[in-house]
Structure 1
Amino acid sequence: MRPEHVEPTILDDPDEVDRFLEANHLTRQGILAIRDAAYVQMVDCSPLMAANAPGTLAYHYGVLETRAQFLGEHWELSREGGIEAIFNQQLNSKIVFQNVDVACSRVNDPRPRSEKGSGAERECQANLFEFYGMSTPKKIRIPQNHMAVYFIMVDERGAVELSRPVIEDKKFTGFIERVFVSDGSDIEREKALPAEPLDQPVDDFDVPVRRRS
C-alpha cells in the first residue's frame, strides 16, 4: 500500500482543539494540569541546583502528571523502546512529555531542549519528508497502520501544545499535526509556585505497564 501524503496541520481554534482531544480520550484540563506541574518545576528551582535542574525536574514531573491524568480505561503506562510514555492500544497511539524552546508559535516550530534518543527516533521514523524543490509547504509521507506518537510540549512561558513530530538525527525535523492548547497567558505566575512543598508520588500507585519489546 502506498503511503499517504499530507501537509502539516495546525489546530488552534478552541472548539477544534477540544474535539481533537476528546476524540483521542484526552482533555484540555488534563493537558493544562501536566503543563502546570512541569512549569512549577521550571520556575521553582534553587539557583544552587545544577544548571539542568529546571529541565530535568520539569520532565520527571511532566511524565508523572501525564500518567496521573490519563492512565485508566483508555491509556496504559508504556516504557517500550526505553521511551517513558502512555499508550492507547485502540488508537495505536503513544504520548510522550517533552520540554521545548517554544510552543504554540506559527512562526517557529518547537525544538526539544535535549536531543531525542534512538528509541524515539525509531518510533517516529516512518514520518518522512518529501521536499518539492526549495518551496514550502513540505508534504509528509505517512505509512498506513503506523503508530502515532504525540508529544505534550511545554515551553518556559507555560505554552503547551500536543503535537506529532518527525524525528531525524535526534531532532524534530517537521510536524504532521500541531494542536495548540494554551499560549501560557492563562498562567497567573505569582500564584504558580506552591505555598507548600509538592506532594510526593504515592508508593502504591498500581498501573498497567506496557513492557519493552
Structure 2
Amino acid sequence: MLADRVVSQDYEVELRLNQFGLTASELISVVHQAVAARAGFVLNHPLNAAGQLSYIYGTGAVRDTLRVKGWEIDRTGNIESTYNPTTGMKIVFQNADSACDDGRDPKAISDKGPAASKAVTLGQYSLFPEYEKEDEEQRKKENAALWYLFVYVNGDDVRAELSFPKRIEDGQFKGFNERIYIIKPGEWASMMPKVDDGELPAQDFEINVTRKS
C-alpha cells in the first residue's frame, strides 16, 4: 500500500524534518549507534540479542539527541518513546525488515501489541494539537502523533526512515500517512567513519555524517 506522502529527495527531507525541529544528521547518528550496538552480538548471546541491543541503544540515542532540545522521555501505555511537548509528536525506535522501499511498507521485526495499536489510532489527528488547559497534558501525551524511526540492517545494507503509520492490524502496520527517507539504499557506505589503513578504529570517535549529492 502506497503511503499518502513519500519524502525522499535530500532537500525535501531536510525541509520536512526542520518542521519537526529535527535534522537528518541527528537521525543518522542514532542509526550509527544502533548499528554499532547490534554489532556487539556474539554467539553466546540469546538469539534475539542483536535486535535487543539495537533497540536499547537506538532508543537511548534518540533520547540523548532530542532531550537537550526539550523533548522528554515518555512511557505512556508502556511504549518507550521520546516526546515533544510543543508539537505533540512522539518518536519510537523500531527495528524493521525493510525501509525506503517504495513498493513495500516497513514491517516491525516483532509484532506490535494492543497498546501500540491504540496509540497509533489516537495519534492520527493530533500533530500540532491545541489545548487550552495545562491540566490536559496527560491527554495530550496519550493522543500524540506516534512516528517510528524504522531501521533496517542486513549486513552492509543499512536503511532508515521516519514514518507515521495509519493503524496497526494483526500486530503489524497497515498503511502510512507519510514516510520520510533518511538513509536510502546505497547511501550507508558514504556515511561510515573513515579509518586509515593499518590503524585500529578508535573506541570513541565523532561520527562525520555526510549526505550523497
Q: Deviations over 1:45-92 (max 9, x none)?
A: 112221101101000000010001111333111111111111111111
CA distance in 2, matches of 1:107, 1:42: 27
Give the number of the structure whose residues are more often helix, by fraction: 2
Verify the 8 A CA contact 1:92 1:148 in the aligned structure 2.
Answer: yes
Work out the CA distance in 1 between the residues paired with 2:163 and 2:87. 16
- Letter of the structure 2 residue corresponding to residue 43 of structure 1: A
Which moves more between the two structures, 166-175 or 15-24? 166-175
Indicate the residue corresponding to 2:145 in structure 1. Answer: 148
Q: Distance in 2 between matches of 1:187 and 1:79?
A: 31
Structure 2 residue identity aligned to 1:66? V
Compute the displacement of 1:148 (Å): 1.2
Change (3 A) 1:192 1:49: farther
Q: Provide the residue aligned with 1:137 in structure 2.
A: none
Q: CA deviation at 1:169?
A: 2.8
Other-structure match for 1:158? 158
The answer to whether the Cα contact below 8 Å between 2:5 and 2:178 also exists between their aligned partners in 1 is yes
Q: Is the 8 A contact 2:100 2:185 kept in 1?
A: no
What is the CA distance between 1:112 and its match in structure 2? 0.1
Q: How does 1:104-119 map to 2 (within 5 A)?
A: 104-119=100-115
1:125 and 1:168 in contact (8 A); partners too: no
* Aligned 1:1-213 pairs, distance under 5 A: 8-126=4-122, 142-143=124-125, 145=129, 146-156=143-153, 157-165=157-165, 166-183=167-184, 185-188=186-189, 195=201
1:209 alignment counterpart: none
Closer, same or farther: CA 192–151 of 1 in aligned 2, 3 Å = farther
Q: Is the 8 A contact 1:160 1:184 kept in 2?
A: no
8 Å contact 2:150–2:160 — kept in the other structure? yes
Alignment partner of 1:185: what SS? coil
Aligned partners of 1:185 and 1:41: how far apart in 2?
21
Task: Give me the whole-angstrom Cα distance separating, in 2, the residues matched to 1:115 and 1:198.
Answer: 34
Q: Tell me how far 1:44 sits from its aligned partner.
A: 3.5
Q: What amino acid maps onto 2:17 in structure 1?
A: L
CA distance in 2, matches of 1:92, 1:80: 13
Deviations 1:8-29 (A, max 9, x none): 1100011110011111011111
Percent identity, please.
Answer: 28
**Contact 2:122 / 2:144 at 8 angstroms: preserved in 1?**
no
Q: 1:117 Cα shift?
A: 2.2
- 1:126/1:77 Cα in 2 relative to 1: closer, same or farther (>3 Å)? closer
Q: CA RMSD in A?
A: 2.5
Q: 1:167 Cα shift? A: 1.6
d(CA) in 2 for partners of 1:173 and 1:106? 15
Which has the higher relative contact order, 1 or 2, with Cα contacts under 8 A spaced 6 or more apart?
A: 1
Distance 1:149 1:192, change over 3 A: farther
Report the Cα distance in structure 2 between the residues aligned to 1:198 and 1:172, rounded to whole angstroms. 36
What's the CA shift string for 1:145-182, capped at 9, x where partnerless?
55211001100122000001122232111111100011
Deviation at residue 185 of structure 1 after TM alignment:
2.9
Further displaced range: 180-189 or 22-31: 180-189
* Distance in 1, Cα, partners of 2:27 & 2:192: 21
Instruction: Give the CA deviation at 1:43.
Output: 3.3
